[in-house]
Amino acid sequence: MHENGSLSIHSENIFPIIKKWLYSDQDIFIRELVSNASDAIMKLKKLSDMGEANIPEDTEFEIKVLVDAEKKIIQVIDNGIGMTHDEVKQYINQIAFSGAEDFLEKYKDKTDQDQIIGHFGLGFYSAFMVADQVQIDTLSYQEGAAPVKWTCEGGTEYQMDAGSRKERGTTITLYVSEEGKSFLNEYTLRSTLQKYCSFMPVEVYFENANQPAPKEEDKTSEDIEEIIPKPINNPAPLYLKNPNECTEEEYKNFYREVFHDFEDPLFWIHLNMDYPFKMKGILYFPKLKNEFETMEGQIKLYCSQVFIADNIKEVIPEFLLLLKGVMDCPDFPLNVSRSFLQNDGYVTKISNYISKKVADKLKSLYRTEKEQYEKFWNDIHPFIKYGCLRDDKFYERMNPFVIYQTTKGDYVTLEEYLERNKEKHEKTVFYATHEQQQSQYINIFKENDLEAVLLTSNIDPPFISHVEMKESGISFKRVDSDLSDVLRIKEEGNEEEQKETNENIEKMFKDALEKENLKINVENLKSETVAAMILLSEQSRRMQDMSHMFGNLPMDMFPKEETLVINKRNPLVQRLLQLQDESNQADDVKMICEHLYDLALLSHKPLESDQMNRFIQRNQEILNRLVK
C-alpha cells in the first residue's frame, strides 16, 4: 500500500506562519502530542468499558516519550486506540489540519496583550514547530486492521505506506529541525514534560536513548532500582480526591511536590464543586510575611489534568495570585483570548466562587480556631488586606474578621477596639507603625490606660484609608499625630499666670531653636516624665507617605507641619524656666532646649545625618560639663 496526496489548504504552506507566531511557545508541541496520546488511551478505555473493544484486563496503559539526540529524533508512543488507513486520512489530513488552519486564523490577528490563552487547538500539527519531518506509525485496535505509516515534511505533500507497528497504538516520530534542537537536551525535554503533563491521567514515561546502561558487574542496588521505570507524572493528583479522604501529610507532600517549597504552608482550601460548573483544586497559604509587594505566588490552572498556564489574572482574582495552588476546570473555555475571558460570564462565576471559598475558609478559621488564626495573622494579613483593597465583595465578607494586634498584646477586631475604647475616644483608632521608635508615645498611652493598634506593614496605609472610606465616621490616627484629651489635665491656678507661663516657655524654646516655621504648643500633660514630643497631623503624614511612595513628587509639595509639644509639668522644663532668668545660664538653656527637641525628634523619626552629628557632639558636651 502506497499513497501520495496533497493537503487541501488555502495557503501554500501554513507551517512557517505557525512557527513565526508561536516561536516563543515552541514547547506546546509536547503538550499537544502527549494530550493526543492520552486521549487515544482514554477512548480505548471507554470502548472497553462499553464492551466494544476486547482489551485484556491486565493491560497497563502508558505513554512513552523518547529522545535520541544522536539521531535527532523525538518519539511519542502510546498503546491507545490507534488508527486505520481511513482514520489517518480523516483525522490527520482533514480534521487535524483544518484545526491547525482554524487555530492560525484565530491567533494571527491577536496582539501580545490579547494573546490566545495556552494556544490550545493546534494539535498534531504543532509537531512541525520543531521538526522538519513527522512520521506516524499506527495500528488500530480493530480486528484485522493493518498498520499504517504517514509521512510529511512540513509542506502540503504527504505519503502513506504500510506501517511496521506490531502492537495496537501510535508512534509519532519527529525528525527535529535546527530551530527545535534545544528539545533534544534531556533536561529541557523532561522539564517541558513535567510542566505540561504533571497530572496527565495516563502514566507518562521518559527515556533517553543515549543514556548508557551500567555494566552488569558494576550495578549497585540504586542502579537496579533505577532500571525500574517510573512515570514522570502523577495520574491521580490529590486535588481529585474527596477532601474528607485526604490527610494533612498528603496535603503537605502535594505542596512540596508541585511547588518545590519545603517550608510547610500555613493551611489550605480544597476546592470541590460540580454545579453550576466543575472545578477541583487546592489553594495553599504560604508564609507571606509583611512585604506583600515582593511576594509572588503561583496558581497553576489545568483543564482535565492538562496544564494551561500560570496566574491567569482574567480567571483568578488578582489578590489570590499571592497564594500557591492548583485548579482544574474541565469546562474552561480553551483557545480564547484574554479579552474574551474578561467578559465571559462562566469565568466571572469561577472567579467569584474562588473568592467566596477563600473568605469562607478564613471566617471558619477565625470562628473555630481563633488561636491558630491569630498565630497565622502576621503571615496572612497582607493577603487579606490586599484582597479587601482589590475586591469589594471580599472586603464585605472579611472586614469583620480583620484583626489588629494592640499595644496590650492581644488581638481585636475593629468593632471590638471601638467598643472597649468608646468612652475615651469614640470612633477613633490610634495606631503605631514602629514599636521601638514610637515607644515614648506608646508608654504615654499605657500610663493613661489607652491602647493603640500596631500597623507595621507597607499595605497598612492604603488599607486604613480604604476602611475610613468604607466605614462612615471612623478615623485612624497615629499615636504621634494628636493629643487625646485623656492625656491632658485641667490647669489650676490663676488663668493669666498660666497663660504668661506658657508664653514664656514657648518663647524660650523659639529663641533657642531659631526655627521660625516650627509650631510650639505648651501642654499640661498627666505624665510628668515626658519633657517634649513631636506631633504631625495625620493628614500631613499621609501626604508625605504618598510623596515617598511615588518618589517623583516635589519635596515642597507637602510641607512639614510638625508641632513641638512642651510638657510644662515636667521638672526639667520647670527648671529651665527658672534658669533662663539667670544671665550666666543662657548657653546652658539653649543647649538643653536643643537637646530636648532632638530627643523628641528621635522618638518621632530617625535624625538626618547633620542632625545626628550635632546631637552626638551636644551629648559629649553635656557629659563633659557633668564631670567637671
Assigned C-alpha cell, 200: 496527565
Class of domain 2-211: alpha beta
What residue spans define the domains of the chain? 2-211, 238-367, 402-486, 499-627
Residue 199 pLDDT exceeds 60: yes
CATH number of this structure's domain 402-486:
3.40.50.11260
Residue 217 pLDDT exceeds 60: no
Which among 507, 513, 504 is positioned nearest to 534, based on CA atoms? 513
CB 7 within 8 A of CB 156: yes
**Of 238 and 485, which is predicted with more confidence?**
238
Q: From 3.40.50.1820, 3.40.50.300, 3.20.20.70, 3.30.230.80, which CATH number describes the 238-367 domain?
A: 3.30.230.80
**Of 132 and 347, which is predicted with more confidence?**
132
Under the banding of pLDDT at 50, 70 and 90, the label for residue 23 is low
Q: How far is residue 341 from each of residues 251, 308, 344, 350, measured CA to CA in Å?
A: 30, 14, 5, 11
CATH 1.20.120.420 fits 499-627, yes or no: no
Angle, helix 370-390 to helix 460-470, in steps of 10 degrees: 80
Q: Which of 17-26, 50-59, 155-164, 527-536 has the lowest mean pLDDT?
A: 17-26
**Of 148 and 626, which is predicted with more confidence?**
148
CB 237 within 8 A of CB 255: no
Which among 386, 400, 397, 402 is positioned nearest to 459, based on CA atoms? 386
Residue 97 pLDDT exceeds 90: no
**Of 102 and 537, which is predicted with more confidence?**
537
In percent, how much of the chain has pLDDT > 70?
Answer: 84
In this prediction, residue 345 carries a pLDDT of 75
Question: What rounded mean pLDDT belongs to the chain?
Answer: 85
Q: To which residue does cell 493598634 refer?
A: 453
Is pTM beyond 0.85 here? no
C-alpha–C-alpha distance, residues 531 and 602, integer Å? 13
3-state SS, residue 129? helix
Q: Which of 95-99, 302-306, 393-397 has the lowest mean pLDDT?
A: 95-99
User: Does 499-627 match 402-486 at the fold level?
Assistant: no
For residue range 384-443, list pLDDT tens digits in order: 999 999 999 999 999 999 999 999 999 999 999 999 998 888 899 999 999 888 888 898
Is the backbone peptide bond immediately before 231 cis, with ω within 30 degrees of 0? Answer: no
